[in-house]
């Protein structure tokens, strides 16, 4: 009987092509698969709670995989951290019920987007924030962010996903957002959003739209209209990947 494992992973996404394995590019998923294979001689692909794009970071991504092995969970964690590059850390390994699946079992996720506000961004923060030193109406952004709380069709904030059919994209873009909030934290302006699921690029598209509000190009109360339009072209641009962190996944 294979055992089912749940691993919790932090990573600096800067030097990776994203979560998903790709030929001839270093991905988080592929790098994990290589490390698991070196330890156990088994080739498998850990299933993430969801993909993160190139340059996006994770404080606690979750992945699961079935493994025919007697290795204790703690030894697997130590061995993985020994083999993996320092840019990927396994913060927990647990043996879980056979029906646990990192993506299917997830009930909520939290993301954070970090914007550095001072005129010069320290080199030690540049990989982990979006540098935007220009004036922003932060209160308008805070007001705008409240409009996405609740159940909405987020088509206007979703990248077109080539893996999903047109019909699926038009019918399955409803998500529930439990909290959506900007806060000032020293030189960082941070946006935190928690919801039952997120479409591709959804957080970065929301942030790009809130930035338009902050710059005064869009009114904060235009968010409901953008949501209702269900058209990507109604919303703002996709904010850069470097500012985005997957904070946690709930089960």
Residues 6 or more apart whose CB falls under 8 angstroms from that of 148 comprise 154, 177, 180, 193, 206, 223, 227
Q: What token pair was written down for 201?
A: 């690029």
Q: Residue 79 or residue 199: which is nearer to its own copies going by CB?
A: 79
- The site string for its own copies over 189-218 (x = CB under 8 A, - otherwise) reads ------------------------------
Q: Which stretch binds its own copies (CB under 8 A): 103-111, 127-135, 142-150, 155-163?
A: 127-135
Minimum CB distance to its own copies, residue 90 (Å)? 8
Binders in 39-58 for its own copies, by CB under 8 A: 57
Provide the β-strand partners of residue 62: 8
Alpha helices (H) in 96-232, listed in sequence order = 138-146, 166-171, 202-215, 223-229
Binders in 1-20 for its own copies, by CB under 8 A: 10-12
**Could you give the angle at which helices 28-40 and 73-83 cross, rounded to 10 degrees?**
120
Minimum CB distance to its own copies, residue 140 (Å)? 28
Among 4, 81, 169, 196, binds its own copies (CB under 8 A): 81
- In the three-class reduction of DSSP (H, G, I as helix; E, B as strand; rest coil), residue 133 is classed as coil
Minimum CB distance to its own copies, residue 167 (Å)? 39
Other Cβ atoms less than 10 A from the Cβ of 93: the count is 21
* E strand or H helix that includes residue 196: none
* E strand or H helix that includes residue 219: none
User: Is there binding between residue 186 and its own copies (CB under 8 A)?
Assistant: no
Cα–Cα distance measured from residue 194 to residue 187, given in angstroms and rounded to the nearest whole number: 23
Structural contact between residues 47 and 63, judged by C-beta atoms closer than 8 angstroms = yes
Minimum CB distance to its own copies, residue 85 (Å)? 9
Q: Which stretch binds its own copies (CB under 8 A): 106-114, 115-123, 179-187, 193-201?
A: 115-123
Torsion of CA 128, 130, 132, 133, to 10 degrees: 10
**Catalytic residue check, 53:** yes
Minimum CB distance to its own copies, residue 124 (Å)? 6
Binders in 133-162 for its own copies, by CB under 8 A: none
- Residue 118 dihedral angles phi and psi, to the nearest 5°: -75, 165
Structural contact between residues 93 and 77, judged by C-beta atoms closer than 8 angstroms = yes
**Residue of 12, 15, 34, 53 marked catalytic:** 53
- The site string for its own copies over 88-107 (x = CB under 8 A, - otherwise) reads xxxx----------------
What Cα–Cα distance (Å) separates residue 130 from each residue in 110, 113, 208?
18, 8, 11
Q: Residue 98 or residue 126: which is nearer to its own copies going by CB?
A: 126
Among 45, 66, 73, 121, binds its own copies (CB under 8 A): 121
Binding site for its own copies (CB under 8 A): 10-12, 57, 81, 86-91, 120-124, 126-128, 131
Query: Which residues are catalytically annotated?
Result: 53
């Amino acid at each position: 009987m294979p055992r089912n494992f749940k691993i919790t992973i932090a990573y600096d996404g800067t030097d990776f092509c994203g979560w998903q394995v790709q030929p001839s590019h270093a991905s988080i998923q592929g790098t994990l698969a290589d490390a698991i294979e070196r330890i156990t001689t088994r080739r498998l692909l850990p299933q993430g709670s969801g993909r993160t794009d190139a340059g996006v970071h994770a404080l606690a991504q979750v992945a699961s995989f079935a493994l025919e092995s007697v290795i204790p969970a703690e030894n697997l964690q130590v061995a993985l951290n020994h083999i993996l590059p320092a840019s990927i850390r396994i913060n927990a390994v647990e043996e879980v019920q056979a029906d646990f699946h990192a993506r299917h079992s997830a009930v909520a996720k939290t993301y954070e987007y970090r914007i550095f506000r001072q005129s010069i961004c320290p080199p030690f923060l540049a990989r982990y924030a979006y540098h935007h030193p220009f004036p922003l109406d932060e209160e308008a952004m805070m007001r705008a962010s409240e409009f996405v709380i609740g159940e909405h069709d987020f088509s206007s904030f979703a990248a077109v996903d080539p893996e999903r059919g047109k019909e699926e994209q038009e019918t399955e873009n409803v998500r529930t957002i439990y909290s959506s909030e900007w806060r000032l934290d020293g030189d960082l302006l941070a946006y935190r959003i928690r919801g039952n699921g997120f479409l591709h690029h959804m957080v970065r598209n929301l942030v790009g739209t809130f930035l338009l509000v902050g710059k005064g190009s869009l009114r904060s109360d235009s968010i409901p209209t953008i949501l209702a339009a269900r058209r990507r072209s109604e919303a703002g641009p996709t904010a850069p990947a470097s500012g985005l962190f997957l904070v946690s996944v709930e089960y």
